[in-house]
Amino acid sequence: MTKKILVVTGGGDCPGLNAVIRGIVKSAQLDGGWEVIGCIESYNGLLKDDVEIVNLTEKDVAGIHVNGGTIIKTTNKGGPFHFPIQQPDGSWIEVDRSELFKKRLDNLGIDAIISIGGDGSQRISLQLANMGINMVGVPKTIDNDLSATDFTFGFQTAVQIATEAVDKLVTTASSHSRVFILEVMGRDAGWIALHSSIAGGAEVCIIPEIPYDPKKVLEKINSRYKNGHGFCNIVISEGAKGLDGKITGTAPTAVGDQHIKLGGVGDKLKYELEKLGFEHDIRVMVLGHLQRGGTPVAYDRILATAFGVKAFELVKEQKYRTMVVYNHPNISYVSLDDAIKSPNNVNPETSSLVNTARKIGISFGD
C-alpha cells in the first residue's frame, strides 16, 4: 500500500528549502511506494476551512534546488496550537486547532510529517509528536542558531550575501572617508556578523553575545583616521546590545506574529558615535531580507539535499520524533527533545572564530 508523507515548510523562508523538498520527493519516488504531499503555507493548508494541499512528484520538483523561497509557501504566524480567527467585531482570537489537524491527517491517511523549520517550528513538531503524530524535523534558518547541528542550511548563503555587501561598502567607504555600519540579521546569534566580518575584512564586528561600548568602537574608528582621511566598516548584528543589555526593535503588529521585529541598532550606534563627537560621515545600511532571498549557494544546496534525503530515510525507518542534523562528517539525527534544548550562540570565550577575528585586529567594541 502507498504510504503518505506530508511536507511542511514553516517560519521565515530560507535559501535551500526547495532543495530539501526536492531531496525528499526524489528519494521517496526512487524508493517506490510513497506519495509526498505538500501542505501549503506551513500548517495552514490543513488548518484553514478550505484545505490546501498539493501532490509533489518528481516533475514538480525538477530543478527547484536552484531557487530560493519555498514552492509550498510558508508563514511565521499561527500554527495548529495558535490558529488566528477573526471575530465578527473584527478582532482576532487564537484557537487550538490541533485536534482538527490530527483528524484531517487521519482522513488523508498521512503516515508521517516532515517539518522543515527553525526552533519555533521544531517546538511545534514536538507538540505534534506528543499527540502521537509521526514527526521528523529538518533544521532551517539563516541564523544558524540551533545547537544540535553544526550548520543549518541557508546560513552560508546569508553569509555570502552579507560578505558581498561588506566588499561593496569597503570601496565606497574608502573613497569618501566614511564609516559604514552594516546591520545584518541573525536574531540573538552573531554568526552572520562574525563570519561576514572576517570574510569581508570589517574593522568592527558587533554581536549580541558581546555587549558593546560605543566609546571602544570610537577608539577603533579614530585609530583609522589620519589628516581627515580614513574609513571604517562596522558589521553589527540586529540583536546587538549595548552595555545596558537592551535590544533594539519593535513589537510585532501582524496577527498571530509573536516575534519582536529586531532592527534599528545600526542607527542607534550611529547616534551614539555622533553624540560622542565623531565628525566624519557615518552611513547605515540595513541588509534585511536580501539575506534570505534568491539562489542558495552550492554549500546550502548540498546540505539541504542531504537533509531531505535523510529525512525521508528516517520516515522509511520509522525513526520518528527526530530531527535531522549535520555533525561533521555525518548527516545524522537527534531526538526532537534534544534538538530544541539549547540555542547555538557564539561563545566569546571559546569561539575560535572570535579569536581569529581578534588576532587580525577586528574590534568587538568591548
Query: Where does this chain bind ligand F6P (CB under 6 A)?
Result: 12, 76, 118, 141-143, 185-187, 238, 261-262, 292
Q: Closer to ligand F6P at the Cβ: 230 or 252?
A: 252
Judged on CB neighbours under 10 Å (0-12, 13-18, 19+), 163 is: buried
The alpha carbon torsion through 185, 193, 159, 200 (nearest 10 deg) reads: 140
Q: Closer to ligand F6P at the Cβ: 16 or 134?
A: 16
CB of 287 to ligand F6P, least distance (A): 10
CA distances from 173 to 165, 178, 232, 276 (A): 12, 5, 7, 21
CA-wise closest residue to 212 among 265, 250, 166: 265
d(CA 364, CA 366): 5
CB of 14 to ligand F6P, least distance (A): 7
Report the residue closest to ligand F6P, judged by CB.
185
- DSSP helix/strand/coil, 261: strand
CA distances from 93 to 120, 250, 255, 331 (A): 20, 21, 9, 41
DSSP secondary structure letters along 51-109: --EEEE-HHHHTTGGGSSS-TT---SS--TTSEEEE-TTS-EEEE--HHHHHHHHHHHT
Q: Closer to ligand F6P at the Cβ: 195 or 280?
A: 195
Query: Which sequence positions are flagged as catalytic?
Result: 143
CB of 106 to ligand F6P, least distance (A): 32
The dihedral sign for the CA sequence 88, 78, 247, 221 = negative
CB of 119 to ligand F6P, least distance (A): 9
- Cell 519593535 sits on residue: 250
Q: Closer to ligand F6P at the Cβ: 29 or 141?
A: 141
* Cβ neighbours around 302 below 10 Å, total: 16
Q: Closer to ligand F6P at the Cβ: 68 or 118?
A: 118
Q: Closer to ligand F6P at the Cβ: 133 or 138?
A: 138
Query: What single DSSP character describes residue 242?
Result: B
CB of 293 to ligand F6P, least distance (A): 10
Q: Closer to ligand F6P at the Cβ: 262 or 314?
A: 262
The dihedral sign for the CA sequence 303, 305, 309, 315 = positive
Q: In sequence order, which residues have a C-beta less than 8 Å from that of residue 131 and are 6 or more positions away?
A: 98, 102
Fill in the amino acid letter for 94. E
Kind of pairing between the strands at 53-56 and 83-86: unpaired
CB of 248 to ligand F6P, least distance (A): 12
d(CA 26, CA 111): 18
